[in-house]
Amino acid sequence: AQTVTQSQPEMSVQEAETVTLSCTYDTSESDYYLFWYKQPPSRQMILVIRQEAYKQQNATENRFSVNFQKAAKSFSLKISDSQLGDAAMYFCAYRSRLSGNTGKLIFGQGTTLQVKP
């Protein structure tokens, strides 16, 4: 079974600075997706960024980028030029691409990010 681990329950960053959130995962599969989701106090989960495991190039979305290390099973999220609106809980998630899989997401425990003005 696949597992996702986020070892940082809470992180803090100064506005305009850069912060990195860590995620490790365990799987025996070679074909999968990895995601970072943002959950603000409204509870609405928002997709921040995704990475296909077969792609070596790290995904980037504006101020958000990932460091995907497939051999190490590591998938960190870097937020550059942090803004007050980035304050939220962030979840790392895994999704298999194997036959028979339903597309369900497997989540880590989450990291609460505080942004200080």
Residues that bind other proteins (CB under 8 A): 4, 6, 33, 42-47, 50, 52, 91, 97-99, 101-110
- Min. distance of Cβ 83 from other proteins in angstroms? 22
Hunting for tokens 């409204």 — which residue is that?
A: 42
Rank residues 65 and 112 by Cβ distance to other proteins and give the closer one.
112
Rank residues 16 and 47 by Cβ distance to other proteins and give the closer one.
47
Write the CB contacts of 35 (distance below 8 Å, at least 6 apart in sequence).
Answer: 47, 48, 49, 50, 51, 92, 93, 94, 95, 105
Q: How many CB atoms lie within 10 A of CB 32?
A: 20
- Min. distance of Cβ 95 from other proteins in angstroms? 9
Rank residues 3 and 12 by Cβ distance to other proteins and give the closer one.
3
Q: Work out whether the CA dihedral 5, 22, 95, 57 comes out positive or negative.
A: negative
Percent helix, strand and coil across the chain, each to the nearest 5: 5, 50, 45
Rank residues 11 and 45 by Cβ distance to other proteins and give the closer one.
45
- Min. distance of Cβ 117 from other proteins in angstroms? 27
